[in-house]
C-alpha cells in the first residue's frame, strides 16, 4: 500500500455542495448590498476559508460589509437555503471500503469551519470514517499547507506516505508545497487544465475511477 494516509477535500470532492454554496453566497451578497456575484466567480473561491474567499471574491470590500456578508452567508447555509447537499454517488460506500483496510488512515482538509464540518459529520453520520480533520478556521486557509502539516504530525505519517485529493488548485498546491503527492478530480469546480498545472500524480474524472486508483496505488 503506497499511501498510509489519504487526505480528502470536502466540498466538490466528496460532497456535491457547490450549488448550495453558490446559492448562499449570492443571497449573502444581496443582503450585504455588495451586488450580484457571478456563479463562476463563486466557484473559483470554493475551498478557501470564508474570510479569504470573501476577500478574493469582493475586492476592496470594507471590514463591516465583509462581516455582514460572512454572517448572512452562514445564516443562509445553516437556516435559510434548502438546496440539497448529497454525497457524490458511491462516495460513502467507497470511503467505508477504504476505512476497513488494515493500517489505512483517512483525513479531511477543508475550507469549511469546524462548526460546519462537525455539523455535516453529524447530519450524515460520516465523521467516524475519518481519523482526523482540519478546517480553515482552526489553522491557516488553503493553499497554505499548514493544515496538511498538522494532520501529518498528529497521525505521525511522513509526507511521502500520504496523498491529498481535491477538486481545486488550492488543494493541490498546498500538497505540492510540502512535496506530498496529490490527486485531482475534474467533477468539482476547477478545470482539468488548472488542476494539471499543479502536477498531480493522477486526475480522476469520476468517483469510481478515483477510488479504484486509490485502492490500487
The total number of residues shown for the chain amounts to 217
From 11, 16, 81, 167, the catalytic residue: 11
Quote the CA–CA distance of 128 and 99 in Å, as a whole number.
Answer: 9
Q: 28: burial class by Cβ within 10 Å (0-12, 13-18, 19+)?
A: buried
Quote the CA–CA distance of 60 and 73 in Å, as a whole number.
Answer: 18
| Rg of the chain in Å (alpha carbons) | 17
9 is catalytic: yes
Half-sphere exposure of 38 (CA within 13 A, CB side): 3
Find all residues with CB under 8 Å of 66, minimum gap 6, and list them.
51, 54, 55, 58
11 is catalytic: yes
Half-sphere exposure of 165 (CA within 13 A, CB side): 27
3-state SS assignment for residue 61: coil
Just list the catalytic residues: 9, 11
Amino acid at each position: 500500500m503506497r499511501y498510509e494516509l489519504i487526505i480528502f477535500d470536502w466540498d466538490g470532492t466528496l460532497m456535491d455542495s457547490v450549488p448550495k454554496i453558490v446559492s448562499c453566497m449570492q443571497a449573502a451578497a444581496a443582503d450585504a448590498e455588495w451586488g450580484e456575484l457571478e456563479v463562476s466567480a463563486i466557484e473559483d473561491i470554493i475551498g478557501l476559508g470564508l474570510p479569504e474567499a470573501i476577500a478574493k471574491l469582493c475586492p476592496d470590500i470594507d471590514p463591516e460589509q465583509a462581516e455582514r456578508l460572512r454572517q448572512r452567508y452562514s445564516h443562509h447555509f445553516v437556516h435559510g437555503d434548502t438546496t440539497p447537499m448529497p454525497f457524490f454517488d458511491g462516495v460513502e460506500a467507497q470511503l467505508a471500503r477504504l476505512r476497513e483496510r488494515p493500517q489505512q488512515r483517512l483525513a479531511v482538509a477543508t475550507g469549511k469551519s469546524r462548526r460546519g464540518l462537525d455539523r455535516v459529520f453529524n447530519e450524515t453520520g460520516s465523521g467516524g470514517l475519518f481519523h482526523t480533520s482540519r478546517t480553515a478556521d482552526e489553522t491557516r486557509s488553503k493553499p497554505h499547507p499548514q493544515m496538511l502539516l498538522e494532520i501529518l504530525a498528529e497521525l505521525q505519517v511522513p509526507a511521502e506516505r500520504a496523498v491529498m485529493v481535491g477538486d481545486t488548485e488550492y488543494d493541490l498546491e498546498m500538497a505540492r508545497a510540502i512535496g506530498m503527492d496529490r490527486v485531482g478530480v475534474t467533477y468539482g469546480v476547477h478545470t482539468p487544465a488548472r488542476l494539471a498545472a499543479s502536477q498531480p500524480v493522477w486526475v480522476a474524472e469520476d468517483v469510481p475511477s478515483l477510488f479504484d486508483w486509490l485502492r490500487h496505488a
